[in-house]
Amino acid sequence: TYTTDTKSREENKKTLENLYSLSVDITKIRRLKEWVLLQDVAYVKEIAGILQEMGADETTVASIIERCPEAILHTPAEINSQRALWQLVCQNEKQLIKLIEQFPESFFTTEYQQNQKANILFFQELGLKNNIITRFLTSAPNIFYNPVEQNKNVIETLQRNYLNLGGSEANMKIWILKLLSQNPFILLNTSTAIQENLEFLQNNYFTDQEVLQLLSKLKGFIFQLNSTTMQKSMLFSKNIFKCSDQELKQLVLKCPALLYYSVTVLEERLEGLLKEGISIAQIRETPMVLELTTQIVQYRIQKLSALGYDIKSGNLESLNGTKKDFEVTYGKIQSKKERPVFNPVAPLHIED
C-alpha cells in the first residue's frame, strides 16, 4: 500500500517518459491508479528489465504494468526476491512469466515474503503438488499472508477432527489434500470456527460418519459458515418441506446446499421453480435442484420443453448436475425422441 498524499500533485515526468518508451497505455493507468504516476520514485526500467529477463516480450511487459501499475513502485531487490520465491513451485521461468501475466497483482504483493516462503515450504511438506501451490498463489494469495503457525493450526484441527469422527489415519492425508485443493480458503478460518461448526452438526443429530460425508460433499465450505445461518437455513427447509428432524437430516445429506445457502438464496430458487409449475413434492424428492441458479433452471427447462419433455409431470433428475451432466441427459432424451418407433408387424427388408 502506497500513500496517495504526495507532496506535489504533478505526475512524475521521468516515470511518464519511461512508460512511453515501453509503449504502456498511460491513459489506462490514469483511469485505474493515477496515484502511481504521482510518486517521487518509480523503477519502471528496472522492473521491465527483470520481466524481460524472464522471457516477457514488450507487449507482455506493457500489459502487466497497465493491469498492475504499482509493480513499478517495488524495488528490483523486492521483485527478485519474489521471483526466487515463486520459482520454488514453478517449473521454469516461462511458466512463471505466464502466471505473472495472468495474475500480476498476486505476484506484485511483496509485503509478506517471509510468510509466503514459510507457507510454500509447509504446503510442500504437507504433500501438495507444486501445480496446486501455484494455483493457490494466484487464486488464493491471502492464505500465504497468514503466519505459517496459523495455517498449521487449522490443518491440525482438521486432522484431529477427521480422526475423532472415525476417519482412518491411512486416508487422512488424502482427505486433507483433497479438501485443500478444492477449497484453500478454509485456511482463512480460525480453528475455533471449524470446531464450532462441527459441533453444531453433531448437536443436530448427524452421526460422525454423516458429518464426514457432509465435509467431503461441501468441499470445506461448511467451515465458512456459522451455526446461526445454518440453523436458519435448516429451519426454513423444515417448514417448506413439512418434514421431521430425521427427514430433514436425510434431505441435507442428499443436498448439502440446504445447509450452505442462506434463506434468501433458498427462497429465490424455490420461487423460481414454483413459477415453472414444479411442485414442492417434486423438489423434496430431488432437492439437489436447489443447487442450481434460477437462470440455469429456466434455461434447462426451456431446452427440455423444446423436445416435448414435460418437467411438471416427470422427476427433476434431468435438470440436475453440471453443464456437462445436463448435456449428456439432454442428448439421451433427444436421441430417444428422434429414434423411429419399431413396428413389429412391418416386413423386414433383408437382402439375400
pLDDT per residue rounded down to tens, the chain (352 residues): 444 444 457 999 999 999 999 999 999 999 989 999 999 999 999 999 999 999 999 999 999 999 999 999 999 999 999 999 999 999 999 999 999 999 999 999 989 999 999 999 999 999 999 999 999 999 999 999 999 999 999 999 999 999 999 999 989 999 999 989 888 998 988 888 888 888 899 888 899 999 988 887 777 777 778 889 999 999 999 999 999 999 999 999 999 889 889 999 999 999 999 998 899 999 999 999 999 999 999 999 898 888 888 887 777 888 888 888 888 888 888 887 766 555 555 554 544 3
Question: b or e along 208-227 (b: 16 or more beta carbons within 10 Å of the residue's beta carbon)?
Answer: eebbbebbebbebbbbbbee
Tell me the domain boundaries of the chain. Answer: 10-110, 226-337
Position 242 scores a pLDDT of 93
DSSP 3-state assignment of 284? helix
Contact indicator for 205, 249 with CB cutoff of 8 Å: yes
Neighbour count for residue 56 (Cβ, 10 Å): 21
pLDDT of residue 6: 46
The confidence score (pLDDT) of residue 159 equals 92
C-beta of residue 225 within 8 angstroms of C-beta of residue 194: no
DSSP string for 231-272: HHHHHHHHHHHT--HHHHHHHHHH-THHHHS-HHHHHHHHHH
Burial of 202 (0-12, 13-18, 19+ CB in 10 A): middle
Residue 344, pLDDT score? 53
pLDDT at 1: 42
The C-alpha atoms of residue 25 and residue 12 are separated, in whole angstroms, by 16
What's the confidence (pLDDT) of residue 351? 47
DSSP string, 286-307: SGGGGGS-HHHHHHHHHHHHHT
d(CA 70, CA 104): 10
Q: Does residue 314 contact residue 281 with C-beta atoms inside 8 Å?
A: no
Q: Is 0.85 surpassed by the pTM of this model?
A: no
Of the candidates 133, 131, 188, the one whose C-alpha atom is nearest the C-alpha of residue 155 is 188
Give the Cα-Cα-Cα angle 139, 145, 149 (nearest 5 degrees).
120
